[in-house]
Structure 1
Amino acid sequence: MFNKFFQNTRKPIGYGGSLMVNMMNIGHKSLSKWGHSHISPGLDANVLDIGCGGGANLLLFLKRCPKGKVCGIDYSPVSVKHSQKKNRRYIEEGRCEVKLGDVSKLPYGDNIFDFATAFETIYFWPNLEEAFKQVYRVLKSGGYFMICNEISDSENDQWSQRINGMHVYSADTLYPLLQRIGFVNLKKDIIKNGKGMCIIAQKS
């Protein structure tokens, strides 16, 4: 039962998924704050949060970018519903939208966003290289992609054996993929013992 419930970290479904989404909004708060400290989006920045979960990061960006637009995408209908509810005011104002979709085929045109973010989600992307190509495509020239994960060290990973389809990636694994696609000016910040990793990459 315990392991079944935690499958909802990959794709929240049903009542258990609703509980998980609420738990993630609370449990990831400190990691999110740490990740946000690495970037300085403009007041009018257009932002895409991929795997937006319960919508907490969307709300943070909406407050940081009061003249911009913030979009979220998730492949879980439960997550989309929660994100839409949490950010209803801004959706009604036209400053936010949340879509059901897949990172392997982002439903946006080219050169749209100043920032794209992925908080605690690339663990579950089935084809990282193709996903990163999609992120690169929707970013404006000079735009930034931020990856923020709590787990980046396989030796300290206690979850991938419990959660189907979860893969832990180190910065050494991600850097070559990002560079091959065309990202430049890569920077990383890693908390000791694999308790946090933030990577910033810029579209050339």
Structure 2
Amino acid sequence: MNFFENTRKPQGFGGKLMAKMMNSGHAKVSQWGFSNISAKPDAKVLDVGCGGGANIATWLDKCRNGHVTGLDYSEVSVAESQELNAAAIKQGKCRVLQGDVSAIPFSDEVFDYVSAFETVYFWPGLKKCFSEVNRVLKSGGTFLICNESDGTNASDEKWTKIIGGMKIYNSDQLVAALKEAGFTEIKTYINAKKHWMCIAATK
């Protein structure tokens, strides 16, 4: 396994290292993604593919009277996220679970926001996974997708050869899958200079 496979599913010591690197390496694109929505202070949030837990911490800061759940299929990521957000977990404001986005372990209409930062590249079938996100969102809830690659930068394609199972999507592909999964109002934001993409889809 090459080290970069840890971006898909962090494992072992290399995965622990990658989870910490992702927290700092994705900080700017995450900040930009968050700037495209305004969060309610009492919101219930699910961060899917939570990695090292930095975005959980940002959600907790934005939704101080709310509750934030992190979900990741990597045991290493879950442990890293729990460690970073230990105080909030102790206060009952946060929990982090191991689970799969194609079968989200929650009942229907639980969350006000679901976020996916730098993770949809690895999801097993967009329509199925997006339908699961739609199912656990409350009516009027928002699904926030934030990617460091908007699918128009040819040099990004090298990562799909280095990391098994990775697929880079453009905004048209993501919007089409979101519509198929039942999302109605879909807003796309692009940082053309950096090839960043953020999509806010409303149920």
TM-score (structure 1 length as normaliser): 0.96
Aligned to 2:134: 136
The one-letter code matched in structure 2 to 1:16 is G
Shift of 1:14: 0.3
Q: What is the CA RMSD across the aligned residues, in angstroms?
A: 1.1
1:194 shift after superposition: 6.0
Q: Identify the residue that residue 34 of structure 1 maps to in structure 2.
A: 32
State the shift of 1:184 in Å: 1.1
Runs of 4+ in 1 over 2 A off after TM superposition: none
Instruction: Tell me which amino acid in the other structure corresponds to 1:175.
Output: V
Deviation, 1:151, is 0.9
Q: Determine the structure 1 residue equivalent to 2:6.
A: 8
Provide the rounded CA distance (Å) in 1 between the counterparts of 2:90 and 2:25: 28
Give the number of equivalent residue pairs: 201
Task: Show CA shifts across 1:1-58 (max 9, x none).
Answer: xx70011000000000011000000000000100000111111001100000000000
Alignment-derived partner of residue 156 in structure 1: 155
CA drift at 1:193: 5.4
Tell me if structure 1 keeps the 8 A contact 2:128–2:181. no
- Residues 99-137 of structure 1: per-residue CA shift (max 9 Å, x gap): 000000101111000000000000000111100010000
Per the alignment, residue 111 of structure 1 pairs with 109
Match of 1:171 in 2: 171
For the 8 Å contact 1:156–1:194, the answer to whether it is kept is no
Contact 1:156 1:193 in 2 (8 A): no
CA distance in 1, matches of 2:155, 2:170: 12
- Indicate the percent of aligned positions where both proteins have the same amino acid: 51
Matched, 1:91 2:86: no
Deviation at residue 150 of structure 1 after TM alignment? 0.3
Instruction: For 2:89 and 2:198, locate their aligned partners in 1 and report how far apart those are by CA, in whole Å.
Output: 28
Q: Distance in 2 between matches of 1:153 and 1:193?
A: 13
Give the 3 Å change call, closer, same or farther, for CA 153–193 of structure 1 in structure 2. farther
**Separation of aligned partners in 2, 1:28 and 1:87:** 17
Distance in 1, matches of 2:66 and 2:115, equals: 15
Match of 1:48 among 43, 46, 53: 46
Unaligned runs of 5+ in 2: none
Distance 1:82 1:60 in 2: 15
Residue 55 of structure 2 is matched in structure 1 by 57
